[in-house]
Structure 1
Amino acid sequence: DGVMSAEGLLDNPALFAPAFKERRRLTKKLRQITALETKEAAALSEEESLKLASKAANEHVLARLPTTEVSSLPPTATEKQTQQQQKGTSATTTTTCGTESKDPKQFEEETAQILLALEYLDLALLHPPVKGIASVVFHTRRICRDALTSFQLMGDLIKCKDIKEARAIVVK
């Protein structure tokens, strides 16, 4: 339960916001410096000369900042589809009879998520959490979010009143 709670804290985007704010600030500064480099040295003011001299230090700091948004979660099914569409592929393929079937890799990932969720639910039955069904539903949703979304079972899981009911939904 503690691991899942810690993982949930990492989803807070404010945790990483200062680094991204600093990245934007340094990027702007470097754009200004690049514009100053095109000016003649004699035409630079003292302030502009100092900015130009700080270019290497700013580039060094910028290189150490995270380049992309950090998330403790793997991408959702929607995010995966968006990424694949940007690459020019689709998460589903059309079979010879015209029906859609899942990508084998996505199917394996969802199967692994479901098995992990079932193992978690079995342990929750043996050792009921102090916070009750709400905690179990939350963790189950996090474990097999992609599978629940693709099979449209997320709403059913959220409405569960006990662990056995949650397990029955995941088994579907």
Structure 2
Amino acid sequence: MPYVQPSRAAITGTLTEDDTAAIIETLAAAGIDTSAIVCTVTTLGNAFFTYNVPKGQSNLIQDGDLLDQIADALDAAGWVMFGWDGQREVGGLVDVLGRPTPHELWTADEVAAFLGVKPASARSQLSRWGLAAHDYQRSASGRPQGRFDAGLVRVLTDARPGQGARTDRPRS
């Protein structure tokens, strides 16, 4: 799921603690040794990965190859992710936001209908979110038309703060 979001703190997911076993099973099915990997779900509904090591030692997974393998396996299985666009930023993490959904792609017009705005406003919102087109198809006029992951659009819409929200203040 190609998606890069500039602000990690504002993103919430839909995962629960029950989803950690399914995530680990997905990794194991992809041939990743999960004996030392811990998947943790935060109160915001995001999942992230650490090593299972004794207290006092750094448990962040900093092995870029392993993080790439994790992201590739979850992407192939359809999990909704944050910070993964086919190539992780150096030092970047991979967060999981939602369970796999049928891979549904929407055009900007379909995103606009979902958001209840005009297509130009929808394209602006997609740009603010940093959501790149998953692929392109030819429209009836023959022009290329971007298609966006519907699952990510739904997750990002649910995470919007709402009218009048003070986004400059930390959540309590």
TM-score past 0.5 threshold = no
So what's the TM-score if we normalise by structure 1?
Answer: 0.23
| Bigger Cα Rg | 1
Higher percent of residues as strand:
2
Higher percent of residues as helix:
1
